[in-house]
Amino acid sequence: MSTEASRMRADARQNRDRIVEVARELFAGRGLDVPMAAIARRAGVGMATLYRRFPTKESLVTEVFSDQFAECVSILDDALADPDPWHGLCTGIERICAMHAVDRGFTAAFVSAFPQSFDIDGERARADSALTELIDRAKRAGQLRADFALDDVTLVLMANSGIIAGTPEASLAASRRLVAYLLSAFRADNAHPLPPPAPLNLFDVLPKRR
């Protein structure tokens, strides 16, 4: 390979890495509604270069959040492997909320349907199944209040998504405290009668698109 060709390949790789880095930063702070033009401008590349690397916004989102998708699945697997049902449930919820607190784009990516680039329905079904098993295990162990429902996990995510802080560190600290308060209320030994669970799903976590 010629020196010129090697340089062009290196430049192309640098452009691609820069686009992904900028998109990750903008999605984390502003969600998925960031225009592709804004990403190209911040990355210092033309629109043609951006679309040559990522033909659709969905393909860029998938690249940006591929590690987070894998980590989310790993979190739930770790929680299910925990021999203590209550500890497994709590650490699973805590870690997922921590991811969400510092990255506004990730939850939006996880619940958005991108059929061409990611099997989101399969991942969501797997998450629901794992959470249902975590909940059932904690109830059978007498640790989780009997009226806790899967919809309540979405309620936790909705509350967590309302955190607005000046820095990622402050958002994470606020998330940890909020989740600690909520988990304390979920314990069976703290149970008091509650209204019926709200019929929620993961799509309710997202702001309504205009």
Q: HEC states along 57-80?
A: HHHHHHHHHHHHHHHHHHHHHHHH
* Judgement on whether residues 84 and 7 belong to the same structural domain of the protein: no
Separation of alpha carbons 193 and 100, rounded Å: 29
List phi, psi (to 5°) of 75.
-60, -45
Q: 115 with 46, same domain?
A: no
Number of H helices, E strands in the chain: 9, 0
Residues 99 and 47 in one domain: no
Segments forming the whole domain that contains residue 40: 1-55
Q: Tens place of pLDDT for every residue, the chain, 210 residues?
A: 556 556 657 777 888 989 998 998 888 777 778 899 999 999 999 999 999 999 988 888 878 877 777 777 789 999 999 999 999 999 999 998 988 887 767 766 655 555 444 555 566 677 788 899 999 999 999 999 999 998 898 888 888 877 877 788 888 899 999 999 999 999 998 777 878 877 766 555 544 443
124 and 196 fall within a common domain: yes
- Cross-strand partners of 187: 144
Cα(28)–Cα(109) distance, rounded to whole angstroms?
11
